[in-house]
């Protein structure tokens, strides 16, 4: 048994259909197009549960690849923490959950560290782009470096705060 479905087409398409209606089985063409669209949606639906696993795996790969930048940020964060005053480092740790690591870096990193990042960002960005293409671009590097920097500062704070 077949069900009837009405479809709407623009006037210009309808005019062209009228010219070739004796040569085209419009119903069969529409059925085929609908069937292909449904098959594609079924494939997408079957793939959805695997998307989260893929995202987790790619996130881990990205993080592993960028670990060198995070470690460099961590070392620079420790260096900067030794240059910070009490109020500065205390305020930074208070805001660690409210602000992004990138923002905290921009506000609290030493001038030397900021200049180093700016100087190396162009070189590293070009190198990373050549090595990994769009997989790990400048923003990714900056995010990982900033996270490492913040972790370095907070590590230093956690080591010293009980001694104050």
* Cα–Cα distance for residue pair 146/132, rounded to 1 Å: 20
Q: What are phi and psi of 81, to 5 degrees?
A: -60, -35
Domain count, the chain: 1
Please give the average per-residue pLDDT across 34-55, as a whole number: 87
* Cα–Cα distance for residue pair 72/67, rounded to 1 Å: 9
Q: Is residue 111 part of a domain?
A: yes
pLDDT of residue 132: 46
Q: Is residue 23 part of a domain?
A: no
pTM of the model: 0.58
pLDDT of residue 126: 58
* Cα–Cα distance for residue pair 125/114, rounded to 1 Å: 16
Is the distance from CB of 155 to CB of 78 less than 8 angstroms? yes
Burial 63-92 (b: 16+ CB within 10 A, else e): eebbeebbebbbebbbbbbeebeeeebeeb
Pick from 48-57, 62-71, 148-157 the range whose average pLDDT is largest.
148-157
* Cα–Cα distance for residue pair 19/8, rounded to 1 Å: 17
Q: Is residue 8 part of a domain?
A: no
Q: Is residue 52 part of a domain?
A: no
Q: Is residue 24 part of a domain?
A: no
44 CB-contact burial (10 Å; exposed 0-12 / middle 13-18 / buried 19+): exposed
pLDDT of residue 138: 57
Least confident of 4-13, 106-115, 133-142, 153-162: 133-142
Domain limits at 88?
A: 66-163
Q: Is residue 156 part of a domain?
A: yes
Q: Is residue 58 part of a domain?
A: no
Q: Is residue 99 part of a domain?
A: yes
pLDDT of residue 44: 85
Instruction: Say if residue 144's pLDDT is above 60.
Output: yes
């Amino acid at each position: 048994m077949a069900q009837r479905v009405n479809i709407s087409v623009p006037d210009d398409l309808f005019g062209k259909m009228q010219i070739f209606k004796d040569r085209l089985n419009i119903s069969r063409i529409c059925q085929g197009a609908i069937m292909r669209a449904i098959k594609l949606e079924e494939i997408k639906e079957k793939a959805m549960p695997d998307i989260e696993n893929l995202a987790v795996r790619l996130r881990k790969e990205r993080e592993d690849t960028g670990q060198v930048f995070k470690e460099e940020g961590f070392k620079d964060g420790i260096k900067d923490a030794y240059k910070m005053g009490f109020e500065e480092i205390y305020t930074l740790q208070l805001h660690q959950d409210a602000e992004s690591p990138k923002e905290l870096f921009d506000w609290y990193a030493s001038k030397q560290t900021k200049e180093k990042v700016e100087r190396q960002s162009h070189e590293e960005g070009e190198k990373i782009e050549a090595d990994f293409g769009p997989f790990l671009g400048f923003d990714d590097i900056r995010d990982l470096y900033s996270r490492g920097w913040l972790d370095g500062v907070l590590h230093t704070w956690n080591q010293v705060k009980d001694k104050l």
